[in-house]
Structure 1
Amino acid sequence: MEAAIDSILLEMQPFLKSSQLKRLRDALKHAFEPKQQEANKTLLQTFLTAKEVEGCSLSTLRYYEDTLTRALAAIGKPIGVMVSDDLRRYLNDYEVTRHTSKVTIDNIRRIMSSFFSWLEDEDYIVKSPVRRIRRVKTAQVTREVFSDEELEALRGACESKRDLAIVDLLASTGMRVGELVRLNKGDINFHERECLVTGKGNKQRPVYFDARAKLHLVEYLASRADASSALFVSLGPSGRRITVGAVELRLRNLGRASGVHCVHPHKFRRTLATHAIDKGMPIEQVQKLLGHAKIETTMHYAMVNQNNVKASHRRYLE
């Protein structure tokens, strides 16, 4: 659009004064802008629909929509004429003005890449402008996991059978908190000590829990008087299914009560992955256990114990 407007202004330059040329530019931009915005919006909604069909969660779709809507509005061009430099400038301005981390910038880049690659595959554009934008280098941060003592402290801080069952189930299965709150009583196989969870993309997989989790789950379910099919419900007589926010809040409170730093559902998941690899479980099996599509994701979750690295060096290399 900008190129077309510049071409028109160039042709009219011999016949119009500078003030008239400015007015003409404003009028042309005003005339084209609504159509441009509508076209961009239509392509974005088509992309989101395709992702929904592929099984993306509602939260992922919202994240995609918010990120791309903000980017398209800031760049202010029709999607078909956007180039790599437009996206680079946007990423740089976003980082500078919002003081964001490199991880955030690379997440935006990945979403842009998904969007423009899809447009290219579907023949809406000739070539994705993200192809020339390399992955943003980010610092590798060693993330904390729970020690055995911290897990025991969290169990000791539980004042209800429900909370104890939640802590044990998260610790022994490594399931996502979204998977936990969707579980029903009928999903639990106590004899085999396993349950079927529905993960990202509505993909189902079995996860396994230990004897302690089984014991506390049985005690919790026996204490309930409601008729809800949900595995975990809010405390009290309502029997309402527990929410992700309620689990996160309860775990934070348990962390404060027990003196354990930074308690959240994802930390249980990372702890399980790290301990599994630490004890020799093949990474491919850990990947299946966690429900990761890519093994690289599993490697990010698992922090190998440095003492074991030292022992392996002495065993294999000395």
Structure 2
Amino acid sequence: MEQRIMEVLRRMQPVLEDEELRELKNVLHMVFAGCDVAQKTEVQCVDNSWRIDMEDYLISKALEGKSVDTVKRYRYELSRLLSYINKPVADITDGDISGYMRAYKSIREVQNSTLKGVRAVYSSFFVWLRDRDRIRKNPMVLVESIKVAKRVKRPFTDTEREQLLRSCATIRDKAMMEFLYSTAVRVSELASLNRDDIRWSSKDLIVYGKGGKERTVYLNERTNMYLQEYLQSRADNNPALFVGLKSPHNRLSKAGIEDMIRRAGERAGVEKAHPHRFRGTSITNAINRGMPLQEASIMAGHAKTETTMLYCNVDQESVKYHHKKYLSA
């Protein structure tokens, strides 16, 4: 019986987290307590032929300029899928993939938005295989698409941003919040910046976004003032733009930045305070205050303006004003 339970756990490992596996093990022991299993002699081979295809695909994505984190995520999702199905890639059907995705959603209780992202990884992989004649047909063509309700995330109001700023315990935190708003950078981009990246004479800097694409972002006067005050207050030699408050003053990580913003939100009574919301707020305010959509897209580092519009919450009063201005007659 113990061997059978371990076999179940092995098969479920690709779709369950460690805590869920432990819970499943306990349930199986309770359900099958006192039961005997008549074993049927059968040999099942584990197929690892897909690993070569997966590694070739991941190398291709890395050469295209995908970030290390993106390639790592692709590896994680594909390894779980392919080890669960346990077939050569040429033999995988749409039913295999659909069955795994249904189990993935049911067991892990993920949102459709998460599942849609996972499906996109699978689709990219099998398109790559088909384009290189490693499979005869792409099984993802017949895998059901996933509908996700499009929701524009609400930006910070001017009052909420001021409340967050007043709740900051240090000049570092003020400088960081203003920097996030002025530049609309991603939190991962912020964490990788150095002091020397700032071009003080022109009040701008170059950041490297997804796929290593570079863009120029700008510092407004308030950000410039807080940032200079913060850097002048530092006594460490770390080249990082933002560092921890305690010795040895290591570079502030993505998680550290997120934690700082979250705690500031709790102190200020501002819900859902996180770094990415500053990005959406910056893009929304820029467009509502007159910046052309194409320029806002460049500022955000988006390849398509449609992506920029997902971040933007257009002011209805602005729509009403321009309707009256252009369509009054």
TM class by shorter chain equals: 0.7 to 0.9
Counterpart of 2:84?
Answer: 74
Query: Match for 1:65 among 57, 75, 92?
Result: 75
Query: Match for 2:137 among 127, 137, 141?
Result: 127
Counterpart of 1:85?
Answer: 95
Matched, 1:266 2:276: yes
Counterpart of 2:320?
Answer: 310
Alignment of 1:1-318 (within 5 A): 23=41, 26-27=42-43, 30=44, 33-34=45-46, 36=47, 38-133=48-143, 135-318=145-328
What do the CA deviations read for 1:158-181 (whole angstroms, capped 9, x no partner)?
A: 121111110110011100111111
1:249 is paired with a residue whose SS is helix
- Matched to 1:196, the amino acid is I
1:190 offset after TM fit, Å?
1.5
1:301 offset after TM fit, Å?
1.1
Counterpart of 1:15?
Answer: none
Q: Following the alignment from structure 1 to structure 2, what is the Cα–Cα distance between the partners of residues 111 and 92?
A: 16
Q: Following the alignment from structure 1 to structure 2, what is the Cα–Cα distance between the partners of residues 97 and 231?
A: 42
Structure showing the higher helix proportion among its residues? 1
- Matched to 1:168, the amino acid is E
- Matched to 1:86, the amino acid is D
1:93 offset after TM fit, Å?
2.8
Q: Following the alignment from structure 1 to structure 2, what is the Cα–Cα distance between the partners of residues 299 and 248?
A: 24
Q: Following the alignment from structure 2 to structure 1, what is the Cα–Cα distance between the partners of residues 75 and 255?
A: 22
TM-score using structure 1 length? 0.86
- Matched to 2:67, the amino acid is S
2:231 is paired with a residue whose SS is helix
Structure 2: segments with no counterpart, 5+ residues: 1-39
TM-score using structure 2 length? 0.83
Contact 2:61–2:71, Cα closer than 8 Å, also in 1: yes
Q: Following the alignment from structure 2 to structure 1, what is the Cα–Cα distance between the partners of residues 92 and 166?
A: 57
Q: Tell me which of the two structures has the higher relative contact order, counting C-alpha pairs closer than 8 angstroms and 6 or more residues apart.
A: 2
1:304 offset after TM fit, Å?
1.0
1:86 is paired with a residue whose SS is helix
1:134 offset after TM fit, Å?
5.2
Q: Following the alignment from structure 1 to structure 2, what is the Cα–Cα distance between the partners of residues 260 and 104?
A: 26
Which structure's CA Rg is the greater one?
1
- Matched to 2:184, the amino acid is G
Q: Following the alignment from structure 2 to structure 1, what is the Cα–Cα distance between the partners of residues 198 and 107?
A: 49
2:252 is paired with a residue whose SS is coil
Q: Following the alignment from structure 2 to structure 1, what is the Cα–Cα distance between the partners of residues 148 and 282?
A: 24
- Matched to 1:221, the amino acid is L
Contact 2:262–2:273, Cα closer than 8 Å, also in 1: yes
Counterpart of 1:5?
Answer: none
Rate the CA distance shift 1:40–1:141 in 2: closer, same or farther, 3 A: same
